[in-house]
A and B are shown apart, each in its own frame.
Chain A
C-alpha cells in the first residue's frame, strides 16, 4: 500500500514524465498502485502522481458499477486522449481531495491510445462514467485536479 497524497501537496500540481522503460520494476509499481486504488473505498481510478510518483501512469476500473459500458481493468501508460465528443456534467470526488465532491464537465465519449504495463500499444473508445474516470486521471498527469474544473451547481440552469 502506498500513501495517497492530499492537497495542498505540491506534487499533485506537477506535470508527470512519460515512462520510457517497461520493466519488472514498473510492473511492481503498477501492482502497488492498483492495490492502493482498490483499498480506497469507492475508488475507481488512480494516477501515479497521487502517490508521489511523477510518471504518466493511470489505472481505471469501473467494472463495479452496474449497467454501464466499460472495458474492465485498464492500465494506461503514457495515455493520450485523441478524440472528444459531447459534454456532460457529472459529480466527481478524488482520493487526493477528501470529503468534497463537485460538478465537472467532461466529454461524454473519448478515444485514447496508451501502452499497457508490458509496453504493448492499446487503444480504446470509452464513454460515460468510464470516460469521465479516465479524463479525471489523465488530468492528474498534467497537474490538474477536478477542483480546477469545478462548475457551479447553478451554472447549467441559470446561465444565459
Chain B
C-alpha cells in the first residue's frame, strides 16, 4: 500500500458538504489522505488531494461515484508517486496586482521563471467590480538563481498597469 498513491481531482458547483462527503467515503474505503489543496474558485469548489489506497483505480472511483453523482461533482484520478515529507522551503513571496488584462500571468510567470523562480504555490483572485476588474496574484517559491536577479526582473515588470512586489521569506527556526 505504501506506494499506491493517487491524485484525486474533484470539481463541482460549490455547496456545503463536499469535503465531508468525499472524505467520509474515502475513510470508509480505508484510504489514507496526504496533502491537499481545496479552494472555492469562482462558484465552483475544487479539490486536489493525495489519496493512498490499497485497491485499483476503478475500485476507488466506484467508491466515490455515488457521492459524486449525488452532489454533481466531476472526479478524476491520476496514479502518482506520492512523496511526503519532502517540502522545499520558499525564500521569496511575490505579489502581483493590477487592472485585469489578458496575458498578465503569462508575462509575469515567463519573466520570473527566466530569472530562476521555482513556484511552489500560487493563488489568484479577480477582485474589483464587473466594470473595473482587478487581478491579484500571490505566489511563493524559491529563487534558484538568487534573489538579486529576480529583483531586477521585477523592477522591469512593474509598470503603470501592474505592481509586482517581492518579499524575502527568511524562515526563523526555533
Contacts and interface: CB of A to CB of B under 8 A. Distances in A.
B138 A93 contact: no
Contacts of B160: none
Interface in A70-102: 90-95, 98-101
A60 B173 CA distance: 10
B136 interface: yes
B103 interface: no
B148 interface: no
A133 B123 contact: no
A91 B174 contact: no
Given A99-B85, A101-B89, A154-B123, A92 B171 contact: yes
28 contacts: A43-B173, A44-B172, A45-B174, A62-B172, A91-B169, A91-B171, A92-B171, A92-B172, A92-B173, A93-B171, A93-B172, A93-B173, A94-B173, A98-B85, A99-B85, A100-B87, A101-B89, A129-B172, A132-B172, A133-B172, A133-B174, A136-B172, A136-B174, A137-B174, A154-B123, A157-B95, A157-B136, A158-B125
Interface of A: 40, 42-47, 60, 62, 65, 90-95, 98-101, 129, 132-133, 136-137, 153-154, 157-158
